Amino acid sequence: MNIEVLKSKIHRVKVTQSELNYVGSITVDENLLDAANLIAGEKVQVLNCNNGERLETYIIKGERDSGIICLNGPAARKASVGDIIIIVSYATMDFEAAKEFKPWMIFPDCDNNLIK
């Protein structure tokens, strides 16, 4: 039996931009992607702590060290600049393997920088 489990989590980052007239997705600083083991094009769920909105989209790699968290296209309607969001991805794996799996979870500071 396979189950879906948490693979990666970027906990409580601040939305820095919102681009309604864009194809769609979420742009994330490359430093955060690396630390959370996420890649461009990966499907993610975005959870808005300010208004309770939840959406699924895919990642676009943002400029390293920029702190960018930008909701693009229709997703831009689900959050405002300054909102706090959580970005999560999931993986499907064997039930027994899932018991031992440890997800990548990061907790950036209030400026979307990695805490050293």
Looking at residue 22, its amino acid is: Y
Query: What are the residue numbers of the active site?
Result: 25, 58
Looking at residue 98, its amino acid is: A
> Rounded to two decimals, what is the model's pTM?
0.96
Domain ranges of the chain: 2-95
- pLDDT for 4-31, tens place per residue? 999 999 999 999 999 999 987 999 999 9
pLDDT for 2 equals 97
Rounded to 5°, the CA angle 101-36-97 comes to 10
H/E segment holding residue 63: none
Looking at residue 14, its amino acid is: K
Structure tokens, 96: 């027994």
Q: For residue 85, what pLDDT band results from cuts at 50, 70 and 90?
A: very high
Q: What CATH topology corresponds to 2-95?
A: Barwin-like endoglucanases (2.40.40)
Pairwise CA distance, residues 1 & 21, whole Å: 42
pLDDT for 4 equals 98
pLDDT for 23 equals 83
Q: For residue 105, what pLDDT band results from cuts at 50, 70 and 90?
A: very high
Please check whether residue 110 is in contact with residue 14, taking contact to mean a CB–CB distance below 8 angstroms: yes
pLDDT for 116 equals 73
